Structure 1
Amino acid sequence: MKNNFRFATDHYVQEFVELQQIGEKYDLVMSGSDQIWNPEALDPAYLLEWAQSGKKISYGSSLSSKSIPAEYEHLFNDALKDFKAISIRDRMCRSALSRIVGKTVSTVVDPVVLLGRNGLLKNTVKITSSPYMFCYFLGNNQEHRKLAVLKASEMRLPIHAVINSGSDFKADKLLEKYADWDVNPWKFVSYINTASIVVTDSFHATVISVLCHTNFVVLEKDSSRPEQNNRILEFLDAVGLRERWGNMSQKVEISNEQWDYADRAIEALRRDSLEFLLEAIK
């Protein structure tokens, strides 16, 4: 964090008045990205109600929901109506949010995509020279871990994994012996970049796999909350790789033609998102 961020204050902000004081120092205040506008856990601080009117923009502020509950519509309207520009990451909520706020709402790519392949790989480190499978799961589904271990055995690959440290994630017990506990973001990217195959239920691990041209399979994180899958499925559809969803028995290798198509699709999405961002900050 010290190497990659310039912080507006040297202490943890606790009160709205502190946010207001910080906001006064800047020409623009931006919100974004991962689930910060999720109706199930809405925090007014992320709606930027503390920032001055006309100074607020959003980049990919994700709702991760298929709809906006009626009881929350007034909160979004009150908070977002004075935004200079609004973009979200979720296509399913765009028209509803635009109606609620009475403004144009754009959809943009996740900031990881905005960074691009070159930006993503500039700080990677060497992991290992031997082929391996990389596992990264966010959901608490033990069956997915079993499938990954079985697939690794079939492919005769060792496993590297980054796992949850919480005691409530009993499913990860199966992967503990493969886990690396000394991982920063760049090492995480490096694991994906040099893997023979990635098995995951994570949106960002999926996106990074595509940017790195790494073979992958992505499994459903939580069957009781299908809206959590929307962003993954939207991304896979956009890059022409929907076949990588939920199927451990499929062929491992993604063809060069598929990667070429994915690259072209990502570049088009990235270009459109950069145009939105540059226009918003004028």
Structure 2
Amino acid sequence: MKIKTVTFHGAHNYGAVLQAYALQKTLLSLGYENEIIDHRVDKVSMFSKIKMEFKRENIARIYKNLLTLLRYKDKKTMFNKFEKFINEDLVLTKPYDSFEELKTYPPKADVYLAGSDQIWNISNRIRDVFFLKFGESHIKRMSYAASMGIYDLDMEKKMLFGELIKNFDRVSVREAEASEFIKSNYCIESEVHVDPVFLLTKEEWEEIAIEYDTDRKYILCYPLLYSKLLNDSLMKLKQITGYDVIVITTNSREKVYGDIYIRNAGPRDFLGLIKNAEFVLTTSFHGTAFSILFQKRFFSFSVLNSTRITNILGLLGLNNRLIINPDDISIEVVNYTAVNKKLALERQRSLDYLKRIQEK
């Protein structure tokens, strides 16, 4: 059976490319033929990414722009690592430069599959590609662990969203809130499944991780969004342990405290840095996810009241890893026995859903 997938596979974002990799690897292991449709939304070149830093003129901005130029080499290295992973570790269709081209020459398939990540976050812009608005009507359309991100939609977007998902044969979402939203507003049943990164085991992720070269123990910080609470907690943990603090960042000037700033990590480096850390502090959903997969002592921080992190922590019985006060920081080892049992059950439920793709 041929499955063509749409997702955020081309974004230079660790979670985006790794969830795309995990879903594809799982589909292939289940015996399906799978390609990711290579239509990259908001694709930009390396030159464009640097040029975007120079749009505004003020003293603070000029200072930041100078830092950007000085760190051009790091940005270029990271850019190349992402492109290498996308082009060599993902199985892609031919490139589609526009959605119009995709609609005119859609790839042949038995199933179109949308997922995962925030492909259904329509707070700013609705992208028809993620609602599978292309191809012949007889082709089955499904989603896997699609995330909406936001549920406070105006009436126009709410009605449009309903029109877009009603053509799906099966709907799978990542958060329980999304399932409840879809049922209460459109009377459409959906299933809730784990993010694709959880479909692979710790050992499978270790196979592609690049080891970080150090003999020193370290605390890893991945602050996708800045949080003073995270910064204060980080300082406290360093004071307790004495370990170096390594910060994964793409910012030219990072507010978060660190002894070492890594600005050129690719997807494989990202995995290796989490795998070998003594502790992980993060505001990121996927930073949290990989901390769990690698069975780390970790602390998560929910910025902007995001439910994505709280959902997965609650599902796996890890609510105490969500920090609301620096005093919550503890160096106690996390008991992963119960967590792994719950994760195994959720992984199997999700695999069972994917196995049912071939059912009529």
Instruction: Provide TM-score, normalisation by structure 1.
Output: 0.87
- Report the Cα distance in structure 2 between the residues aligned to 1:185 and 1:121, rounded to whole angstroms: 12
- Residues 80-125 of structure 1 show CA distances to partners (whole Å, capped at 9, x for unaligned) of 2121211010101213213444432111100111122222221122
- Report the Cα distance in structure 2 between the residues aligned to 1:126 and 1:194, rounded to whole angstroms: 8
What amino acid sits opposite 2:355 in the alignment?
A: L
The answer to whether the aligner puts 1:162 opposite 2:248 as a matched pair is: yes
Q: 2:319 corresponds to which residue?
A: 242
- Report the Cα distance in structure 2 between the residues aligned to 1:51 and 1:148, rounded to whole angstroms: 49
Q: 2:70 corresponds to which residue?
A: none
**How much does 1:43 deviate?**
2.1
Q: 1:252 corresponds to which residue?
A: 331
Q: 1:35 corresponds to which residue?
A: 118
- Report the Cα distance in structure 2 between the residues aligned to 1:153 and 1:35, rounded to whole angstroms: 37
- Residues 34-91 of structure 1 show CA distances to partners (whole Å, capped at 9, x for unaligned) of 1111131332221122243342111111001245543323222222212121101010
Q: 2:52 corresponds to which residue?
A: none
The answer to whether the aligner puts 1:77 opposite 2:162 as a matched pair is: yes
- Report the Cα distance in structure 2 between the residues aligned to 1:99 and 1:60, rounded to whole angstroms: 18
- Report the Cα distance in structure 2 between the residues aligned to 1:52 and 1:145, rounded to whole angstroms: 51
Aligned residues: 269
Q: 2:30 corresponds to which residue?
A: none
CA 1:24/1:195 → structure 2, altered by over 3 Å: closer, same or farther? closer
Q: How does 1:58-73 map to 2 (within 5 A)?
A: 58-73=143-158
- Report the Cα distance in structure 2 between the residues aligned to 1:271 and 1:214, rounded to whole angstroms: 22
The answer to whether the aligner puts 1:206 opposite 2:288 as a matched pair is: yes
CA 1:82/1:135 → structure 2, altered by over 3 Å: closer, same or farther? same
Gaps of 5+ in 2: 1-85
Q: 1:44 corresponds to which residue?
A: 128
Is contact 1:56-1:82 (8 Å) kept? yes
- Report the Cα distance in structure 1 between the residues aligned to 2:282 and 2:226, rounded to whole angstroms: 12
Is contact 1:8-1:22 (8 Å) kept? no
- Report the Cα distance in structure 2 between the residues aligned to 1:21 and 1:175, rounded to whole angstroms: 50
Q: 2:278 corresponds to which residue?
A: 196
User: What SS does the aligned partner of 2:269 have?
Assistant: helix
What amino acid sits opposite 1:50 in the alignment?
A: F
Is contact 2:151-2:181 (8 Å) kept? no
**How much does 1:219 deviate?**
1.3
Q: 2:308 corresponds to which residue?
A: 231
Gaps of 5+ in 1: none
Q: 1:131 corresponds to which residue?
A: 217
**How much does 1:220 deviate?**
2.2
CA 1:211/1:265 → structure 2, altered by over 3 Å: closer, same or farther? same
CA 1:116/1:254 → structure 2, altered by over 3 Å: closer, same or farther? same
The answer to whether the aligner puts 1:8 opposite 2:97 as a matched pair is: no
Is contact 1:216-1:244 (8 Å) kept? yes
- Report the Cα distance in structure 1 between the residues aligned to 2:298 and 2:223, rounded to whole angstroms: 13
**How much does 1:261 deviate?**
0.5
User: What SS does the aligned partner of 2:264 have?
Assistant: coil
Indicate the RMSD between aligned Cα atoms, in angstroms: 2.1
Q: 2:343 corresponds to which residue?
A: 266
- Report the Cα distance in structure 1 between the residues aligned to 2:105 and 2:199, rounded to whole angstroms: 26
- Report the Cα distance in structure 1 between the residues aligned to 2:202 and 2:330, rounded to whole angstroms: 24
Instruction: Provide TM-score, normalisation by structure 2.
Output: 0.69
Structure 1, 65-74 or 48-57: larger mean CA deviation = 65-74
- Report the Cα distance in structure 2 between the residues aligned to 1:198 and 1:274, rounded to whole angstroms: 28
Is contact 2:123-2:153 (8 Å) kept? no
**How much does 1:193 deviate?**
1.0
- Report the Cα distance in structure 1 between the residues aligned to 2:157 and 2:264, rounded to whole angstroms: 40
Q: 1:17 corresponds to which residue?
A: 100
